[in-house]
Chains A and B, each alone.
Chain A
């Protein structure tokens, strides 16, 4: 195989790769939601919400948060991996996680918490 042919194939390969990334990254991006819009039908779905932390308490294996929008929602962040962020009440945060139901109340099991300001 000539080098030119090989490079052409590599170029096509890269373009197809970029196209796949563009198409399927859209599917993975989670649209921002509000606490008001979260209902029983959303259980098990991924969600992205922004709001102010109104409660932060820490246990051995998890951090318990309450996010206010002004409606409030409980968020649990498990310490499965080192969490290097410091969360304080009053922080404006973005939370990405899965909606679950616990004792009849909806809560979010967070995959990621990011302090915006």
Chain B
């Protein structure tokens, strides 16, 4: 019976999602591409929709689990880059588990609200897409200008611009590098991961005992703004190719106003879950894929009708529910494990791990990128400006993609 085949595929997708979510540098796209190449074999005994649900469950689970390496190890993927800093700050206050819980609140609530609002926006998607498409590059330019103007002093504005351009040029070089495997891994790990770890090491930071408590409270108003921001801007990112969760998060940060560190983590947590979930709607409405996993789904099932969309929505809900239990459970294990290790040893091991993975994925070119991006990542905190300016590494290439 198809129903049971779907359940097995979803459980398998959640299981693989744990592995991809927890392992820095292993992206959903890698498994999705592998599945497409093996689809001839799998379609001998199952149907395309079952393989599609496997990929959807895998991708949704990944968007929940990827908070753990980002917060506990400071090793983010592209969608979680902005979360390293507040997440790591909470870890250094003994609240790593609470930080992960905030991302889970963001992911689950934003997933539910995206699905609730989907029927209302679905009919207007082609219109919104064709109306906004020519202006996306210019909207991003305005957002960057606004972000730089928000730096407090003239000196801050200048250094903010320097950080944006440095990281932007580095991003342009890295993303256009021919035959480079996993270019984002060394780029983002250097700018947001290793640079933070080096600063913590230089300040002789000691990792306090991690506690699993419920003391973090977020004002309802701020939580609402965070989730609404995640739903709206995550959906926008899903509509336009090239516009990722991280870029949408920068726009959302400027629009939702001051929401504080906790609600910010909710916003970033929700953003990439919404981005993936809403790409199911764009798949149905525009029959176009907006990320690697959806490309794989479309490759296997060829087209999606309303019935198929509803099955994928059911899959996203079930995988989201399972992923909530998994993420909180695994996060508790991480919090307990991390209590037994010395922070200095942990930080050095993570830096060594990221370096080895970089050499494995991207060779010695990747190592060069990792060293350069770490240096660029250090400029912002040393100059006393916001580290989010370093998102220029993703924003500048996207702006040029839309404007040129």
Chain A residues packing against B (C-beta within 8 Å): 1-3, 6-7, 9-29, 81-85, 96, 111-112, 114-115
Q: Is the CB of B307 within 8 A of A11?
A: no
Chain B residues packing against A (C-beta within 8 Å): 1-3, 6-7, 10, 36-37, 39-41, 43-45, 47-49, 101, 104-105, 108-109, 111-112, 214, 218, 223, 307-308, 310-311, 313-322, 324-325, 328
Q: Is the CB of A84 within 8 A of B45?
A: no
Q: Is the CB of A29 within 8 A of B41?
A: no
How far, in angstroms, from A44 to B316 measured CA to CA in the complex?
A: 30
Instruction: Answer whether A17 and B317 are a contact pair too, CB < 8 Å, given A22-B3, A25-B311.
Output: yes
Q: Is the CB of B108 within 8 A of A10?
A: yes
Q: Is the CB of B47 within 8 A of A13?
A: no
Instruction: Answer whether A84 and B307 are a contact pair too, CB < 8 Å, given A9-B112, A112-B47.
Output: no
Q: A1: which B residues are within 8 A, CB to CB?
A: 105, 218, 223
Instruction: Answer whether A18 and B39 are a contact pair too, CB < 8 Å, given A7-B325, A84-B44.
Output: no
Top-3 shortest CB links A-B: A14-B321, A20-B314, A17-B318
How far, in angstroms, from A15 to B322 measured CA to CA in the complex?
A: 10
Q: A3: which B residues are within 8 A, CB to CB?
A: 101, 214, 328
Instruction: Answer whether A2 and B214 are a contact pair too, CB < 8 Å, given A21-B318, A25-B311, A28-B311.
Output: yes
Q: Is the CB of A10 within 8 A of B314?
A: no
Instruction: Answer whether A20 and B44 are a contact pair too, CB < 8 Å, given A3-B328, A11-B321.
Output: no
How far, in angstroms, from A9 to B321 measured CA to CA in the complex?
A: 8
Q: A112: which B residues are within 8 A, CB to CB?
A: 43, 47-48
Query: How far does the Cβ of A116 sit from chain B's closest Cβ, in whole Å?
Result: 11
Q: B322: which A residues are within 8 A, CB to CB?
A: 10, 14
Q: B218: which A residues are within 8 A, CB to CB?
A: 1
Q: Is the CB of A25 within 8 A of B2?
A: yes
Q: Is the CB of A21 within 8 A of B40?
A: no
How far, in angstroms, from A21 to B218 measured CA to CA in the complex?
A: 34
Residue of B nearest to A115 (CB): B44
Q: For B2, B49, B218, B308, which residue has the most chain A Cβ atoms within 10 angstroms?
A: B2
Instruction: Answer whether A24 and B307 are a contact pair too, CB < 8 Å, given A13-B317, A18-B318.
Output: yes
Q: B36: which A residues are within 8 A, CB to CB?
A: 81
Query: How far does the Cβ of A21 sit from chain B's closest Cβ, in whole Å?
Result: 4
How far, in angstroms, from A50 to B376 measured CA to CA in the complex?
A: 63
How far, in angstroms, from A18 to B322 measured CA to CA in the complex?
A: 11
Report which of B47, B108, B109 forms a contact with A96, defined as CB distance below 8 A: B47
Q: B43: which A residues are within 8 A, CB to CB?
A: 81, 112
